[in-house]
Amino acid sequence: MKPMLPRSPRLPRTFAFALIAAVCALAGFSGCSSKMEEKDCTKLKMDAFDVLNKAQHCNNDTDCRGSVWPDCQKPLSNVSATDIKAKEDAYFTGKCEEAKPTCSDTTPIYCKQGLCVRKEKGAPGSAGDTPPGDIIVH
């Protein structure tokens, strides 16, 4: 007669539950990607451009700043900057494919007649033949 080990009724059930839990965890992790779909990334960027391209109202110079995302070089009001910042955070949190732009233009942005504007540098042949590099206020 062969010696037999006593059979534990809990061992197969415990093994089955552990196996089910492992399969569920694996399926859950594979389906949970935090990368946003390309169409959602594009929509966020288009919405940000819509905010950026509308009139940027201001009361004084402190109400204005330069945009960093989605495009550099644009005058932006502080109110619109808050809206764009929320879209930018969602865009980069969603791992949308794009390098963050580096903005290098330091031309002053100020409030002129209730709108945020950028002072433009003069160019040859411009109004009054302003020398290149000088600031023209329109």
Give the model's pLDDT for residue 107: 84
Task: Evaluate if residue 4 carries a pLDDT over 80.
Answer: no
The answer to whether residue 23 sits within a structural domain is no
CB 119 within 8 A of CB 137: yes
d(CA 101, CA 131): 30
Identify the residue whose tokens are 């764009």: 84
- Note the pLDDT of residue 127: 54
Containing domain of residue 122, as a range?
38-136
- For the entire predicted model, the pTM comes to 0.59
pLDDT beyond 90 at 59: yes
Distance CA(138)–CA(117), nearest Å, equals 9
Please state the rounded mean pLDDT for residues 31-47.
Answer: 80
Cα–Cα distances (Å) from 122 to 52, 91, 116, 130, 138, in that order, read: 24, 36, 19, 6, 11
Residue 56 forms part of a structural domain: yes
Q: How confident is the model at residue 98 (pLDDT cuts 50, 70, 90)?
A: confident
Count the domains in the chain.
1
Rounded to whole angstroms, the Cα distance separating 67 from 51 reads: 11
